[in-house]
């Protein structure tokens, strides 16, 4: 794990950074933003080091920092991107053309915001 919305993964012996599509968590680098440490800690618990994850590409392969852009799934089938948003650890962030699950994640965000989960109550409404 690198931060709340970026993971380090190994594929066929090579290491890659994976940026979760359609989500943005509060920053912890270079400065700490409201709820950033909580989002990063949650990601660390959600995707434990050494666990197997499955990656799904939308349209784009990499971002301008050469990170893979992916939807990430845990072994139990849960989409990590959605779990972060539903729990209030991330907000939806759109970067077209990667919008495959936008409606699904916006629904999760509305639920988190209306329930005041995570950053929606800790950070003056997200």
Give the HSE-up count for residue 111: Cα atoms under 13 Å, Cβ half-sphere. Answer: 13
Q: Which residues have CB under 8 Å from 10's CB, separation 6+? A: 16
- Please answer whether residues 72 and 34 qualify as being in contact, where contact means their C-beta atoms are separated by less than 8 angstroms: no
The answer to whether residue 27 is catalytic is yes
The span from the first CA to the last CA of the chain, in angstroms, equals: 23
Catalytic residue from among 8, 15, 19, 117: 19
Catalytic residue from among 27, 74, 104, 117: 27
Catalytic residue from among 67, 74, 104, 117: 67
Sheet holding 68-74, edge to edge: 6-11, 14-20, 68-74, 53-56
What are the residue numbers of the active site? 19, 27, 67
């Amino acid at each position: 794990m690198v931060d709340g919305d970026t993971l380090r993964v190994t594929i066929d012996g090579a290491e890659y950074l994976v940026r979760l599509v359609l989500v943005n968590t509060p920053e912890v680098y270079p400065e700490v933003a409201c709820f950033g440490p909580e989002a990063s800690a949650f990601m660390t618990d959600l995707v434990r080091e050494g666990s197997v994850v499955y990656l799904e590409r939308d349209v784009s392969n990499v971002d301008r920092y050469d990170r893979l852009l992916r939807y990430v799934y845990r072994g139990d089938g849960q989409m990590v991107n959605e779990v972060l948003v539903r729990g209030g650890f991330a907000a939806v962030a759109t970067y077209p053309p990667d919008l495959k699950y936008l409606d699904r994640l916006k629904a999760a965000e509305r639920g988190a915001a209306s329930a005041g989960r995570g950053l929606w109550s800790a950070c003056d409404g997200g």
